[in-house]
Amino acid sequence: MTVKIYSTDTCFFCKKAKEFLKQNKIKFQEVNVMEDEAAAREMINKSGQSGVPVLDIDGTIIIGFDVPKIKKALKL
């Protein structure tokens, strides 16, 4: 399973999403869209918006820290 989270250092819900993944022992790749312009464009292309967090779980795009959607995508 591939999990990528697009986030920023100052985003409260990004931190909560990363904590949730860690608590559930889910490995993920973190991409800071404030530091990586290409990643920011990639996130916008995938999600259609510029707010964070955006999670890409095996191609399923989840906007925001939406626990039910994240659990469903992770099959938890």
18-59 pLDDT per residue, tens: 999 999 999 999 999 999 999 999 999 999 999 999 999 999
Q: How many residues does the chain have?
A: 76
Residue 61 in this model has a pLDDT that exceeds 90: yes
pLDDT of residue 1: 85
Q: Give residue 42's pLDDT.
A: 95
Third-level CATH fold of 3-74: Glutaredoxin (3.40.30)
Residue 44's pLDDT is what?
96
For residue 40, the model assigns a pLDDT of 95
State the Cα–Cα distance between residues 55 and 59, nearest whole angstrom.
Answer: 9
Q: CA 3, CA 29: separation in Å to the nearest integer?
A: 6
